Structure 1
């Protein structure tokens, strides 16, 4: 699928190879403002490489990536983040000597960190107070206010993923990319993540989510883009996946008489 007009994120004819291995081949899709799009595909399909090209961790061989019409391919990761793309990671690592609140505040790109502490200018103090206020609001919204003073490294896996979302949101992104937000998460916290993401979307946040939990995809995503061997094989609603022959083939290969409803949305 080519990106629709006025897409917030536009990926057009993107290709990427490593040592002659074509990992991404002519990948094109768009994410409109306010959408939650699931990025799916079996292991080795190119999902991580695609995320890394969008975020600026990898360069593309050809094609174009635009955010709100502006080319961002070729920009370093910090400039892509400054342009408005936030990202969480599958296995978030948290510092041992910082509290949950301190980690959230440190993630604010407008916060001057140790410079603000040393200089203590009026502007720096205002920036610090604004970061503290925003961090407190996000920790409350993401259900982490009760653990705000605990060491970030002491959180459960699911709570670390929620804190990762808080940190990404501290930079006020226009697009939030989530890498397997529910992998290894306790069912209770999984429900909290679903509720939190729906609330963020209701406030206008646009999201691109890599996830293997198909029930989560059904609950959260409005559209799915499916990769297989570096190519897009489907761009459709979650409830259409089970009827797509290319998607079934990508996931199931030679498995005979599959129980499709147990494998796909």
Structure 2
């Protein structure tokens, strides 16, 4: 018999409101190991809120979130990171007085113990050296070695996004969630991000991406989940987006038939 693999992430009947604004309503989906899933939807559809709920930066009002079969929706964000679920941010903010390599190494602190680091124990020194080796390898993989010793705040927007991915990977995640990794990124760096994510996925990384760039979604994702006004309206392959009526209505508001596929195909 073929072994059945349990979903890596399960979101069950999740709802969230801010005051009288119902942002998410009865949202349910799951992510299987090895997938690259695009989380799409027009502005205000609830994508970033959903990402924040899954990663512990907001508390759900109802429903539950399970990672590797265990509930995580009651955990603070740093405990969710400890469970091997990493994320990046749409507008990464970098420390002004830390170099790129220092930021990457700091992202591994939780793994080798904050207090040990402060006390300078032998174990902490050994862990620091391992973290330096890991950080250097990731900086090389994401083409950041030339800026390794520069202040992280001096990086371009695209380089900061790459460093954000490096920091998330320093936590050894089994699921990586990315918030608009190509927004405002130079086309050359965008291609680097595409190749890096494809490489990570080939190595076994499961990835969820909040993104507006349809070309990027088609290049990278194996499946798309589409939100509209707080509800999931589609779960399909990227090549099915332009023929899915509910997706077209979500992006065009039920608008013109003559141009209904333009935005989805843009």
Category of TM-score, reference length = shorter chain: over 0.9
Give the alignment's TM-score, normalised by structure 2.
0.94
Aligned length: 261
1:20 Cα shift? 2.9
The answer to whether the 8 Å contact 2:252/2:260 transfers is: no
Partner of 1:63: 63
How many angstroms apart in 1 are the aligned matches of 2:140 and 2:166? 10
The answer to whether the 8 Å contact 1:105/1:111 transfers is: no
How many angstroms apart in 1 are the aligned matches of 2:111 and 2:70? 22
Q: 1:45-64 maps to which residues of 2 (within 5 A)?
A: 45-64=45-64
Partner of 1:146: 146
For 1:193, what is the secondary structure of its paired residue? helix
Partner of 1:13: 13
For 2:97, what is the secondary structure of its paired residue? coil
Offset from partner CA, 1:95-119 (integer Å, 9 cap, x none): 1111110000001122446853x53
Partner of 1:231: 231
Q: Could you say what the CA RMSD is over the residues aligned between the two structures, in angstroms?
A: 1.6
How many angstroms apart in 2 are the aligned matches of 1:156 and 1:176? 22
How many angstroms apart in 1 are the aligned matches of 2:125 and 2:134? 14
Give the alignment's TM-score, normalised by structure 1.
0.94
How many angstroms apart in 1 are the aligned matches of 2:113 and 2:149? 21
The answer to whether the 8 Å contact 2:251/2:263 transfers is: no
Partner of 1:215: 215
The runs of 4+ residues in structure 1 deviating greater than 6 Å are none
1:120 Cα shift? 2.7
For 2:28, what is the secondary structure of its paired residue? strand
1:228 Cα shift? 0.4
1:63 Cα shift? 1.2
Partner of 1:196: 196
1:85 Cα shift? 1.0
1:24 maps to 2:24: yes
Gaps of 5+ in 2: none
For 1:110, what is the secondary structure of its paired residue? helix
Partner of 1:110: 111
Partner of 1:248: 248
Partner of 2:264: 263
Offset from partner CA, 1:35-71 (integer Å, 9 cap, x none): 0000000011011111111011111121111001001
1:121 Cα shift? 2.0
The answer to whether the 8 Å contact 1:7/1:68 transfers is: yes
